[in-house]
Amino acid sequence: MAQHMTKKELKQDPFLSVYYDDIVEFAQQHYAKLIVAVVVIAAAVVAAVSWKSYQRRQELAANAQLGAALTTFHAYVGSASPDALGPGAQTFATAEAKYKAALKAFSGVAARYPRQKAGEIALYHAGVCEAFLDRRDAALKTLRQAASVPDPEIASLARFALADELARAGRLPEAKNIFLALANHPTRTVPSATAWLALADAERGTDPAAARQIYARVSKQMGSDPYLAEILKEKLAALPAQPGK
C-alpha cells in the first residue's frame, strides 16, 4: 500500500529534493488561489451532477405528461360498458370534445418542455388535434413549428401532416413539394412508399395520369408486399379510365 512521504523523506529524495523548497514556496504564495481552484472544480462537479439529475427529472415528468396526453388522444368516443374498456378508461361523448382535451394537454407539454423529445412529440400532436378540429390556420402554424424540431423522425411526421393539411386547403403545389421531398428523403416514421402514395393521392384529383404513374412506380418497387399491393390495386381501380382503354 502506498504511504505518505514525510518532509524529511521528501528532502532526501534525489529528484524531489531539488524542487522541494520551490514547491513549498509556490504553495505558500498561491495557497489562496489553489483553494479557490479546488472549490471551483468541486462546485463545477456538483453543478454538473445536479444539472444531469435535473434533466433526468424533467425528462421523466415530460414523458409522464405526454403519456397522459396520448391516452386522451386515443380515448374511446361514445358510450361503452366499463367491462369493454377496462376500469378507469377515458371516454368522450364526441370526437370534438376528445381532441379539445388532447390539444390542451399536448399544448401544455410542448410549452413546458420545448427542449425535451416529449415536448417535440407533443407539439406535433397539438397540430394534428388542431387539424382534426378544423382549425386550419392554427394547425398549419403549429405543424410548421413541429417540422423544424431537431429530431428528424418527429420533423418528418410533422412535415407529412403539414403537407396533408395543405392539400386539404387546396394548396397543392406546396403539398406536393413536401411529399416529394419526403419521398426522396425517407425516415423510419415516413417511409418512401408512404410519401409517394400521399403524393399520388394529391395528384389524382387534378392529374390522374401522374397519379397512375406514381402508383405504378411504387408497385414496381414495393409491390411484393401483399398489403401494399392490395392498397395500390384499389387506388388504381378508383382512378378514371385511361383514354382509349
Concatenated DSSP letters of 36-50: HHHHHHHHHHHHHHH
Question: Which of 9-23, 60-74, 173-187, 221-235 has the weakest average pLDDT?
Answer: 9-23
Task: Kindly state the average pLDDT of the residues 52-64.
Answer: 82
Three cell numbers at 38?
479546488
Q: What are the boundaries of each domain within the chain?
A: 58-77+89-146, 172-245
Could you read off the pLDDT of 193-210 as tens digits, one per residue? 899 999 999 998 888 889
Give residue 18's pLDDT band: very low, low, confident or very high (50, 70, 90).
very low
User: Residue 124 burial (CB < 10 Å; 0-12/13-18/19+)?
Assistant: buried
Distances (CA, A) of 19 to 3, 9, 23, 26: 20, 13, 6, 10
Contact 119, 107 (CB under 8 A): no
Q: What is the pTM of this model?
A: 0.75
